[in-house]
Amino acid sequence: MTVYLDHAATTPMRPQAVAAMLPYLTEHFGNPSGAHALARQARAAIDDARDAVAAALGAQPGEIVFTGSGTEADNLAIHGRLRAAGPGRAVCSAVEHHAVLHPVESTNGTVVAVGGDGVIDLEQLAATLDDDVVVVSVMLVNNEVGTIQPLADVADAVRRHAPNALVHTDAVQAAPWLDIADVAAAADLVAVSAHKFGGPKGVGALVTRDRASLVPIIEGGGQERDRRSGTHNVAGIVGMAAALDATVAERAATVARVRRLRDRLTDELLRAVPNAIETGRRENKIAAACHLLFEGVESEALVLLLDDAGLAASAGSACASGALEPSHVLLAMGVDRSLARSGLRLSLGWSSTDDDVDLALKVVPEAVARLTK
Amino acid sequence: MSGGVDSSVAAAVLRDAGHDVVGATMKLWGGESDSGCCSVADVDDARRVAQQLGLVHHVFNFTDDFDSRVVDPYVDAHRQGRTPNPCVECNRHLKFDRFLVRAMQLGFDAIATGHHARVASVDDRWRLCRGADPAKDQSYVLSMLGQDALSRCLLPIGELTKPEVRHRAAALGLRTAAKPESQDVCFILGARGRGAFLGDRIDLHPATVMDAETGMAIGSVDAVELVTVGQRRGLGVGGGDVRYAISVDVGDRRVTVGRRGALDTDVTPLGSFAWVDQPALIGTALRAQTSAHGASSRAIFTGDGLRWAAPVRRVAPGQTVALYDEDDDAVIGSGVA
């Protein structure tokens, strides 16, 4: 039996989501764009899902664009806005997911530094903002370290210094843990991904407030009010809504329970492993995030030993070949290159238990000791 | 597992012999490549073969070490007018050091590769011998391995000929059975070549081409750093007898050329020796091989190089010379010209 502490990569599907999806994988197979009863049934399911997702994210139903992933939602926000605005520049933080970083870099945008705690440098942000900037993207929660970004302050700076810019936030890692309706209220564009909160893989959504006009990056049949073509992933969208409903309903209890587990995990690992370093400031992280550096240990080897010991953990993002890349997030936080190769991400989720933490507390110190012999 | 047929069959042979095998692919080169050892398509092949064989497969990212241990020294050697063997350095520092250490950390007893060479234990000492297929023998690129590495590595392909390897792969239905062999240096694009690769990284300088017999300047080259001893094309001295580069002086920006006979030498100085077991004694008669797939020649070990039994072509500075016993089978060690 494997203990799973890689919920930031993906989390088990919520039973409510699976149950909600099954009819749309079987008898309710219609294409929602059609004109017959089966199509209407599918259309109604998407309409209901849109209402639910909008309510959970603090948006109007017409502001929700369903996409094929969180990455697509991020790409639509950056590229769609750049295309709609005409000449203009994108700005993002240095710790963004590549779904934001690459679109910004590939369009000659500006990347703003973060401090040692992983939080965006607001002074540097303000200094780069001007009338040319048309979109500013700062993630709500970082996917590696778990740091929460001061989105309201970012939005405030954008309104003052870049009046033509929309504020986009990648809320993919935030959605399971924070009340998006509240913390992302200042953003014009908000991206989420279903599989991070117990929905299926291959479904995302972008909130696009009224003032946010976008040129689509996928053209075709004009679905999603011409903002994202392609036949709807009906089951996936239904599953996303069901998972988000369950997440919101249980959030307060889950956050409190998981925070206690995470604190025990982190505190005891810091006690058990000499020279372990906790990354970032814990009070500024989501409840599920435990990220540690083990000087002198190669995390590529560490995760394999942990896998052998029955613990699924993560050491950063992999490239196309499957090889781990040195974390651009840690490098941006000023961690040196060799120390950045020693990171371990233990990310908890809605299904995590005390037993999971117990196993991690046994096998992580053993594996680290073996690799530092 | 590079994604080639040899390492695919090596994994299958060991699995079938009852070993507890895990497949691993090293990601070595972060830049562009034709296919070499590093491309995503090759990693896909390695992973698919491992899956088919029922083996766990991992990818290790050693790009930083590959840069610092293989690519940077390769570039730096060319800057000095030397011609190194990056494959030898990769085996020395990456496969049989970095990778071996990683495997030991993870609790494995040994590593295995798909090299065509044989490791044998005789009286508790380890020997490295040529592979069973003379045409595919790769003992040259392993000639710098010592007892420590040899005691912890398996080379199951060394007992097979290349046709036998392909036959085994086909019989197992492995997708790599008919895959062409990788050629040349894995981090250099065939279409752009060595000159463009080095030109991106170091300043290339024109040089005078001097005739060894007359001492006269008879031509010029655009990039002295790209000229290798023994080279005859691209020296800008067309017409008349064929001339070969017999020495390259980067500092003085001069390439000296001569006729075929001037390329031959009776002695080759060597340094940076590595020994399979005991260092060779001065005066030892042995055979030496100066390139990966060339034939060996008889020589006497002089302590700081070789005295050849009959003149051989000059060895380009930086090249590895592999030393074999008089039977031309067991590797004694290696030196660098």
Domain spans of chain B, in order of start: 5-114+155-171, 203-258, 265-336
CB B236 within 8 A of CB B217: no
Of residues B241 and B19, more confidently modeled: B19
Distance from CA of B79 to the nearest CA of A (A): 27
- Tell me the whole-structure pTM to 2 decimals: 0.90
Residue B32 pLDDT grade (very low, low, confident, very high; cuts 50, 70, 90): confident
**What 3-state class would DSSP assign to B244?**
strand
Among chain A residues, the shortest Cα distance to B102 is held by: A301
Q: Residue A321: list chain B partners with CB under 8 A.
A: 25, 27, 40, 43, 59
Mutation test of the interface with chain A: which of B45, B61, B63, B100, choosing the one with the most A Cβ atoms within 10 A? B61
The CATH superfamily of B5-114+155-171 is HUPs (3.40.50.620)
Q: Residue A300: list chain B partners with CB under 8 A.
A: 60-61, 102
CA B217, chain centre distance (Å): 35
Residue B241 has pLDDT above 80, yes or no: no
pLDDT in tens, B211-230: 988 989 988 999 999 999 99
Consecutive 10-residue averages of pLDDT for chain A (373 residues): 94 98 97 95 97 98 97 98 95 97 97 97 97 98 96 98 97 98 97 98 95 91 95 98 98 98 98 95 97 95 96 83 84 93 96 98 97 89
Cα separation values, B2 from B11, B47, B264, Å = 11, 10, 38
Residue B37 has pLDDT above 50, yes or no: no
Q: Which numeric CATH code is attached to B265-336?
A: 2.40.30.10
Q: Extract the tokens encoding B322.
A: 């592999």
Identical fold between B5-114+155-171 and B203-258: no
Could A300 and B60 be called an inter-chain contact, meaning their C-beta atoms sit closer than 8 Å? yes
Q: Residue B61: list chain A partners with CB under 8 A.
A: 300, 319, 323-325
Distance from CA of A364 to the nearest CA of B (A): 14
Distance from CA of B157 to the nearest CA of A (A): 25
pLDDT in tens, B60-96: 999 999 999 999 999 999 999 999 999 999 999 999 9
DSSP A322: S
SS (H, E, C) A18-31: HHHHHHHHCCCCCC
Could B106 and A305 be called an inter-chain contact, meaning their C-beta atoms sit closer than 8 Å? yes
Residue B34 pLDDT grade (very low, low, confident, very high; cuts 50, 70, 90): low
Mean pLDDT (chain B) is: 93
Q: What pLDDT, on a 0 to 100 scale, did the predictor assign at position A204?
A: 98
**What 3-state class would DSSP assign to A185?**
coil
pLDDT in tens, B312-331: 999 999 999 999 999 999 99
- Domain B203-258 indexed as CATH 2.60.120: no
Cα separation values, A326 from A143, A300, A302, B261, Å = 14, 10, 14, 53
Mean pLDDT (chain A) is: 96
Task: State mean pLDDT over B158-164.
Answer: 96
Could B59 and A320 be called an inter-chain contact, meaning their C-beta atoms sit closer than 8 Å? no
Torsions phi, psi for B119 (to 5 deg): -110, 130
For A273-353, where are the alpha helices, taking DSSP H only?
Answer: 299-308, 328-332, 337-340
Nearest to B26 by CA among B58, B52, B56: B58
CATH number for A3-10+251-371 (one of 3.40.50.150, 3.90.1150.10, 3.40.250.10, 3.20.20.70): it is 3.90.1150.10
Could A323 and B47 be called an inter-chain contact, meaning their C-beta atoms sit closer than 8 Å? no
Residue B236 pLDDT grade (very low, low, confident, very high; cuts 50, 70, 90): confident
Burial of B164 (0-12, 13-18, 19+ CB in 10 A): middle
Q: What share of chain A is helix, strand, coil (3-state, %, to 5)?
A: 45, 15, 40
Could A301 and B105 be called an inter-chain contact, meaning their C-beta atoms sit closer than 8 Å? yes
Residue B1 has pLDDT above 70, yes or no: yes
Among chain A residues, the shortest Cα distance to B22 is held by: A304
- Domain A15-246 indexed as CATH 3.40.640.10: yes
Residue B35 has pLDDT above 60, yes or no: no
Task: State mean pLDDT over B230-251.
Answer: 85
Facing residue for A371 by CB, picked from B27, B40, B105? B105
Q: Which residues of A participate in catalysis according to the annotation?
A: 319
Residue B165 has pLDDT above 80, yes or no: yes
Q: What pLDDT, on a 0 to 100 scale, did the predictor assign at position B190?
A: 80
Interface of chain B against chain A, CB under 8 Å?
A: 25, 27, 40, 43, 47, 58-61, 63-64, 102, 105-107
Q: What percent of chain B has pLDDT over 90?
A: 82
Query: What ranges do the domains of chain A cover?
Result: 3-10+251-371, 15-246
Torsions phi, psi for A304 (to 5 deg): -70, -40
Q: Residue B106: list chain A partners with CB under 8 A.
A: 301, 304-305, 308
Residue B38 has pLDDT above 60, yes or no: no
